[in-house]
Amino acid sequence: MAVHGILVPNKITATNVDAYNRTAVSGSDIDNGMVFNLFSVSSGSGEGEVFMTEMPLTGSLAGIWMAYSPEVVSIFSPDGLTEYKGINADPRNFYVKAGQMIDAFLPRPGDILTMSADCFTAARSTNTFANVTTGSYQLVWASGGVGTQNVNGVFKYLATDYFSIGSGSVIGSTQRQTAYRVVCIYN
């Protein structure tokens, strides 16, 4: 089973500014912590205020939005017609299926986030910056911030942390999931 990204917004401007929060829909499965552009509104029936996600491309690497939906895992019946929510409490199993609504926020400089390692491409190693890059919904670790303000979304590494995730096999046991605390530098 695939493991999906976990995002904890420690301190974000979007908590107090409605304009930095949107509802979106994507043609792809989306994990919390994935980044995308919201340039157009959905043409779906009843979706006049729902935006369409677009993968970041050259020329649109700043002003990116980040997925952050409540982590209520859905399980579907074998025929795919019935959805059961909240049966599985492991946040690593949560993602938004293509075509479903996504909650998104606009990261602002100074926002602090804790994100699981699955939110990034490659390993952090000694890299201290995570950049928005062309053709990827995930942030990419790099030795430096790419671009400048209004040109590229850039996050700076602050610390390594862990998410403790309960294991159903032994009462009181937990699994540690590596996470990184980052601060938004540019967007």
70-87 pLDDT per residue, tens: 776 666 778 877 777 766
**Tokens standing for residue 162:** 């862990």
Share of the chain above pLDDT 90, in %: 47
What per-residue confidence (pLDDT) applies to 97?
81
The mean pLDDT of 98-102, rounded to a whole number, is: 88
| Confidence class for position 108, pLDDT limits 50, 70, 90 | very high
SS3 19: helix
What per-residue confidence (pLDDT) applies to 94?
65
Host H or E run for residue 112 = strand 112-116
Which residue's entry shows tokens 């986030």?
113
Please, which residues have CB within 8 angstroms of residue 71's CB and are 6 or more apart in sequence? 6, 32, 91, 94
Q: How far is CA 130 from the centre of its chain?
A: 13
Neighbours of 177 (CB within 10 A): 18
CA nearest to 13, candidates 112, 90, 80: 112
Please, which residues have CB within 8 angstroms of residue 164's CB and are 6 or more apart in sequence? 174, 175, 176, 177
Q: What value does the mean pLDDT of the chain take?
A: 85
Who has greater pLDDT, 45 or 93?
45
| Confidence class for position 174, pLDDT limits 50, 70, 90 | low
Which residue's entry shows tokens 């304009």?
19
The pLDDT of residue 147 is above 70: no
pTM, rounded to two decimals? 0.85
